[in-house]
Structure 1
Amino acid sequence: MIETRAAPRHRVLKAGTIEFGGGAIDCVVRNLSATGAALEISSHVGIPERFALVVPSDGLHLRCDVVWRKNYRIGVTFS
């Protein structure tokens, strides 16, 4: 399979938080690159198309746009 992403993603297992409009949902960051990430979530319900991803272990606070949703994962690009 040929990799077509703008930046290579690296497999990780990090705790994160999806923050939006005063709310927050815990997630697990499963892979990460300079341009996006795949997040594992317990439910898609209530997660908007744009939000902030916070990864405390890396000191990250990134604005995200959802690119895809599948089962218990969502893919985001950083904006």
Structure 2
Amino acid sequence: MTAVTEKRSTPRHRVLKGATIAFEGNGLECTVRNLSCNGAAIDVANLTGLPSSFMLLIEADQFIRRCRPVWRNDRRIGVAFD
């Protein structure tokens, strides 16, 4: 087994929350998978056309943060909050 090195400055907490990525008058539905005060991991059906900065809205929690993607794979992006 290979040990995984944690690179995050603050631990993230597992969540499963519906959210919206908002940019340029558009809204893209997504699911927040984990969350910290500095960032989040978000599942998105289609990453095509995602801008370099956007707002993450979790309406149920009245949570709004400007963020930027710092990594991505097939359907998940990691974002840092500005």
Same fold per superposition (TM over 0.5): yes
TM-score, normalisation: structure 2: 0.91
Identity %: 47
User: What RMSD, in angstroms, separates the aligned Cα atoms of the two structures?
Assistant: 0.9
Stretches of structure 1 lacking an aligned partner (at least 5 in a row):
none
Whether 1:34 aligns to 2:37 is yes
TM-score, normalisation: structure 1: 0.95
Spell out, residue by residue over 1:34-55, the C-alpha distance to the aligned partner (whole angstroms, 9 max, x if none).
0000000001112111000000
Stretches of structure 2 lacking an aligned partner (at least 5 in a row):
none
**4+ residue runs over 6 A deviation:** none
Structure 2: distance between partners of 1:36 and 1:46: 21
Higher CA-based Rg: 2
1:19 to 14, 18, 22: 22
Length, aligned pairs only: 79
